[in-house]
Structure 1
Amino acid sequence: AFPPLGKEFMPPLDEGSYLWMPTTMVHASIGEAMDILAKQNMAFRGIPEIDSVVGKIGRADTPLDPAPVSMIETVVNYKPEYRTDKAGRRIKYRFDKSKGSFVLDAAGELIPDRGGRPFRQWRDHIKSPDDIWDEIVAAGQVPGSTSAPKLQPIMARIVMLQSGMRAPMGMKIKGPSLEVIERVGLQIEKLLKQVPGIQADAVVADRIVGKPYLEIVPNRKALARYGVKMREFQDVVEIAIGGKAITTTVEGRERFPVRVRYPRELRDHVEVMERILITGKGGAQIPLIEVAEIRYERGPQVIKSEDTFLIGYVLFDKLPGHAEVDVVEECKRYLAA
């Protein structure tokens, strides 16, 4: 009956806020991710239409949250177009038609007046929440981070429960190894950016491999030469770097483990860790570097699987004025060509 109308599962609702969910580079440390988060929050707060900004990195202390440190979640609440009361009704203020401006009291505040006009809080070129999202995208461009698909908090949770992805649209790639999945995902990312109905900035493939892992590999011959048992070596490394619980304090009904390990300045850098002392035969103090190799190895930042298969995502979003179903069908035709 209406051929020009596109097809969508459900039109988006106006929640009054957006969820900005970019990712940082895989190898970024917690400090670098927090720096990117702080810069983005500062940029968002500089937008006049924004009311409040709350961001986080990483995951909560629960096995149900698989977010890596490289994933940022920022809730950006924007002001309503007009000032309203608690019931959501527009408040009218005294307006001087001769001067074309609102009348202010001695304190510089607007004066409520039932015969006045509602006060618009958005700038003239901001016509809809979509324009606010464009401002957010422009302000969130920080070196070292990707862009993000257009999401709202409630909408995002529903989408993630339905598909596991943090975007309204995306592709799931299954493969024999994480390296193959990442390589294919990056190739598909380049192709999807050329599809007419897709917002090129929002196309993001998972960067899976590249997280630096610190490995301490014992040299068995050196340990035998110094008379150090493997168990003794592992105990020293565990206590010095990771810490070990040696006792438990009792405070009423609560129990707290007491852990012992080196202070942060003696375990934060590889050069310092190399000087950790291990007691050898006869009480000799042997630096860790003499009996082990300390090195960085590239590894995955997160491992996702479905139906026993390793999986990776390519996330994307549509341009305004395009229906989701039409965009998905266009992507299929483009990739199959």
Structure 2
Amino acid sequence: MLAWSRACVDPALRAAVDTLPGALRQIAGYHLGWWDRDGRAVGAPGGKAIRPALVLLSAEAVGGDPVTALPAAVAVELVHNFSLLHDDVMDGDRTRRHRDTAWTVYGVGPAILAGDALLALAFDVLAGSGHPASREEGRLMHAAVQELLDGQSADLAFESRAEVELRECLGMAQGKTGALLGCACALGAAFGGASWDRVGRFREFGERLGLAFQFVDDLLGIWGDPSVTGKPVHADLRQRKKSLPVVAALTSGTPAGRELAALYSGAPPSGADLVRAAELVAAAGARDWSQAQADDLLGQALHHLRAAHPVAAPAAELTGLAGLVTRRDR
């Protein structure tokens, strides 16, 4: 399913990126895994294409032709990669998808500009789709981007705050991840010709799935296998990120939560302290709680999908993709 999505979207995505000015095109193509730092073609991983798959399957699930939704799928993937380029700079991450991040290769400024170029290109692709409702769809994507930026802003602010409430962390995750997945599903349904009531159901499906995705992503940020995630183990703890399981542990009122708070209040943990911090998150019950939340959100997402009365075959594919998102190893 994901291979089908990637095969559908890649030619149009490459054609769009090829319209960028030379230096920005080079950085974008490197980030997307198409070539090395010198512009030579390579077959590096380019991501799982979950968001484009959601667009195409949502269009098909309302009875539309997924090919007509290709501009929306490309636009969503461009927005996603804009956010990743900026996220790597802000978090200081040096690896993504088992490669050096773009900012470590080309510099901070050029990587930021490449991200900006992808965001502008996303709106250009959507506006140029020729779809009758492109104005409304552009507004939908604009709102999702604003939520994404607000979520990322909150994520950064949390790093310098001693205390963060769980409800604040949930709101941050909803904006940072849920908004764009909701947008992907809504755009797909809209391009597939659905009524705006059904479009809203698909947005709700995607938003809840996105929040579940973030719960699982945060678990992988602590316990993920570097050989699969492409990032060091305990990466989020090393940066003292206020991720969902960490905030759940810190606000748990347990001895483990208090010990974790003491660790987080000092210098960035390393070595044995990182191992201990991970143990404390689990001991506070936050690891199990996070997976349970992801599972509950999956149930909510599937409820909204069923309420949209989707076509059976693509609905089954969407259900399978939702299961992958909440039980994944990379």
| TMscore range, shorter length | under 0.3
Which has more radius of gyration?
A: 1
Greater fraction of residues in helix: 2
Please give the TM-score of this superposition, normalised by the length of structure 1. 0.25
Query: What TM-score, normalized to structure 2?
Result: 0.25
